[in-house]
Amino acid sequence: MSQLKFKITDMSVNYGPFTALQGINIDVKQSELVVLLGANGAGKSTIFRAISGLNKPSKGEIKFSEKKVNGMSPDKLVKLGIVQCAEGRKLFPEMTISENLRMGGFVHRKNKKELKTMMEHVYELFPILKDKKDDHAGSMSGGQQQMLAIGRALMSRPKLLMLDEPSLGLAPLIVKQMFEIIQRINKEGTTILLAEQNASAALKIADRGYVIENGQIVVTGSSDQLLNNEEIRKAYIGA
């Protein structure tokens, strides 16, 4: 596999007159699991939306393996392998689980065999999805919907997978499982950028992290450094 390099340089994003992000610098290397920590409204989802092409940065550059990718449309980015499992899951509620997964493989639709293998893999990661494969996505519990959202993102064979607060609103036991699965996906070779408020759980599985406050990166470092940082412990871990 070619070495993946992902780099955001000095990116700003506005919502109308409001500056949501300013001077963001992030880089992610092949096979890393990097976490973006930040409270509500810090700007985590905005970073992901900009990377995915849903919002256009007003300034700065996003590079993916030496290729400038800001300004590209969302579907082209998915084809390149930049895929996100978004906040709010954004499933197709009246489609069944298996149909949602099938749509997840939209960019590989010509390759039926690959789709089948990927689907098997997703079912293996989340056996509950296989049991309920003919149920409508809209009828599932929050945890199951989150699993489906991750599974759907995996179907497009991401090189860089962004996960936006996958633990949000889930029961503690499910959260634990969720982080284990995220770690497993990473170990299997997928580079992951994870947005979280649950700092202690996220830092346990991450290699490195960035802390975002009010649209700016305030601290960055390895997971150990961040876990031992007094201020971060106070603000995000509460210990």
Ligand X SMILES: Nc1ncnc2c1ncn2[C@@H]1O[C@H](COP(=O)(O)OP(=O)(O)OP(=O)(O)O)[C@@H](O)[C@H]1O
Residues that bind another protein (CB under 8 A): 52-54, 73-75, 78-79, 83-84, 86, 89-95, 99, 102-107, 109, 138, 152-153, 155-156
C-beta of residue 115 within 8 angstroms of C-beta of residue 105: yes
Under 8 Å between Cβ of 122 and 151: yes
Q: Tokens 């993916």 appear where?
A: 64
* 46 contributes a contact to ligand X by CB under 6 A: yes
Of 6, 37, 44, 232, the residue at the interface with ligand X (CB under 6 A) is: 44
By CB under 6 A, tell whether 17 contacts ligand X: no
DSSP codes of every residue in 56-103: --SEEEEEETTEE-TT--HHHHHHHTEEEE-TT----TTSBHHHHHHH
87 binds Mg ion (CB under 5 A): yes
Query: Closest-CB residue for Mg ion?
Result: 45
Q: Which residue's CB is nearer to another protein, number 5 or number 102? A: 102
Whether the Cβ atoms of residue 31 and residue 189 lie closer than 8 Å to each other: yes
Interacting residue with Mg ion among 45, 52, 55, 223 (CB under 5 A): 45
Beta strands in the chain (DSSP E): 5-15, 18-29, 33-38, 59-64, 67-68, 82-85, 160-164, 191-196, 208-213, 216-222
Q: Could you give the string, one character per residue 80-99, with x where binding to ligand X holds by CB under 6 A and - elsewhere?
A: -------x------------
By CB under 6 A, the count of residues binding ligand X is: 13
Q: How far is the CB of 229 from another protein (least distance, A)?
A: 33
Q: Is 167 in the site for ligand X (CB under 6 A)?
A: no
Distance of CA 225 to the CA centre of its chain: 22
198 binds ligand X (CB under 6 A): no
* Chain contacts with ligand X (rule: CB under 6 A): 15, 18, 20, 38, 40-46, 87, 197
